[in-house]
C-alpha cells in the first residue's frame, strides 16, 4: 500500500425503490476540504492516465461499473517510493469503497465493465491546470503494462 493512500468502506442503502450511495461527509477523517465533485465516464476497455496533482487530494468512488485504479508513488521522500498499487473498484466487486489519494501520486484507471463506468472524485480543491501534470500511458518513467 502506498503511504498516504487510504481505502475506506462506504455505505449503500438499498430498498425496492432503488439505492443511496454515500461517498464523503465533512466530518469524515478523509475530508480535506471541498473544491468540487466531478464524474468521469470511462468506456469499456478504455484507459485514462497518467495524471498527478501537486496540491489536490482526490477522493474516488465508483458507484456504477468497475475499474482498475493504478497508483504510482514517485515521491523521493516517501517510504513507499517506487511502489505501484492496484485497486479494483465498483459495484461489480461487491464492495463499495472510497480511495483517498494524496498529492503527488500518479493515477490511471481502466474500465473493466462491459458498459461505461462512472468514477466520482470529490476533490479538496477546485481543478487547476497549473497544479496538474500528465504523462502518456507508455511513458518509460512508469513501468506498468495495461
Q: How far apart are CA 101 and CA 90, in angstroms?
A: 17
d(CA 64, CA 15): 17
- pLDDT digits (tens), the chain, 146 positions: 999 999 999 888 889 999 898 898 889 888 888 999 999 999 999 999 999 999 999 999 999 999 999 999 999 999 999 999 999 999 767 778 999 999 999 999 999 999 999 999 999 999 999 999 999 999 999 999 99
The third-level CATH classification (topology) of the domain covering 6-134 is: Jelly Rolls (2.60.120)
Domain boundaries, the chain: 6-134
Angle 129-131-135 from CA coordinates, rounded to 5°: 80
Amino acid at each position: 500500500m502506498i503511504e498516504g493512500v487510504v481505502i475506506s468502506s462506504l455505505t449503500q442503502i438499498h430498498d425496492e425503490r432503488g439505492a443511496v450511495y454515500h461517498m464523503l461527509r465533512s466530518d469524515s477523517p478523509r475530508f480535506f476540504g471541498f473544491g468540487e465533485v466531478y464524474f468521469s465516464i470511462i468506456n469499456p476497455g478504455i484507459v485514462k492516465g497518467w495524471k498527478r496533482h501537486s496540491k489536490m487530494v482526490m477522493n474516488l468512488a465508483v458507484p456504477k461499473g468497475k475499474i482498475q485504479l493504478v497508483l504510482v508513488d514517485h515521491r523521493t521522500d516517501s517510504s513507499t517510493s517506487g511502489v505501484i498499487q492496484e485497486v479494483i473498484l465498483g459495484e461489480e466487486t461487491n464492495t463499495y469503497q472510497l480511495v483517498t489519494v494524496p498529492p503527488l501520486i500518479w493515477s490511471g484507471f481502466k474500465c473493466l465493465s462491459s458498459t461505461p463506468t462512472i468514477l466520482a472524485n470529490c476533490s479538496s480543491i477546485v481543478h487547476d491546470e497549473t497544479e496538474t501534470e500528465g504523462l502518456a500511458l507508455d511513458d518509460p518513467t512508469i513501468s506498468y503494462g495495461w
